[in-house]
Amino acid sequence: MVFVWGLAPRFNTLYNWVMLKKTQSLKLDKDFKKVFRFSSPRYLKLLKIRSIQTFEQIRIGIIVSKNISNKAVVRNRYRRQIKAILRDLLDNHDLGKKKLDVVITVYKKPDFKTSFQDFSNDLIQWQKTLS
């Protein structure tokens, strides 16, 4: 099956691979505020990660501010890269079994060409500290 952006149906495996499940995403403003209020940040090379324990399954929110780039295309690219890495960590590692609310903020502007590897290194380092 050939994958072409914009022409692929919603059930395409690559499309599903990039997306997090709806139950795994942090959406409401009150949930973000709760994480900001009751957690302390963990600073990595490019990411600032805050997390709190919950009674539900893991939920993740991603913030890429306009300070990183004024172009929405670039901000969405970084967001998609982080989601793809998280999807792998949730499926293939024990991160999916954790009961956390997590807010991931990109606080330093990454190099456009090496951003995926930098994000991956940061998230793997964070995942190891949870174990």
As a whole number, mean pLDDT of residues 58-80 equals: 94
Position 18 scores a pLDDT of 59
Q: Is residue 19 scored above 80 in pLDDT?
A: no
| Structural contact between residues 123 and 47, judged by C-beta atoms closer than 8 angstroms | yes
Single pTM value for the model = 0.81
CB 19 within 8 A of CB 76: no
Mean of pLDDT over the chain: 84
Whether 107 is covered by a domain: the verdict is yes
| pLDDT score, position 110 | 87
Sign of the four-CA dihedral 41, 91, 79, 63: negative
Query: Is residue 43, in this structure, part of any structural domain at all?
Result: yes
Per-residue pLDDT tens digits for 73-125: 999 999 999 999 998 888 877 777 889 999 999 999 988 888 899 999 999 99
Report the candidate in 120, 104, 110, 88 with the shortest Cα–Cα distance to residue 36.
104
How far, in Å, CA of 81 to CA of 116, rounded? 6
Confidence of residue 3 (pLDDT cuts 50, 70, 90): very low
How many domains is the chain partitioned into structurally? Answer: 1
Quickly state the pLDDT bin for 8 (edges 50, 70, 90). Answer: very low
Q: Is residue 16 part of a domain?
A: no
Task: Encode 61-96: b = buried (16+ Cβ within 10 Å), e = exposed.
Answer: bbebeeebbeeeebbebbbebbbbbbbebbeeeebe
Is residue 14 one of the residues assigned to a domain?
A: no
Domain of residue 63 covers 22-130
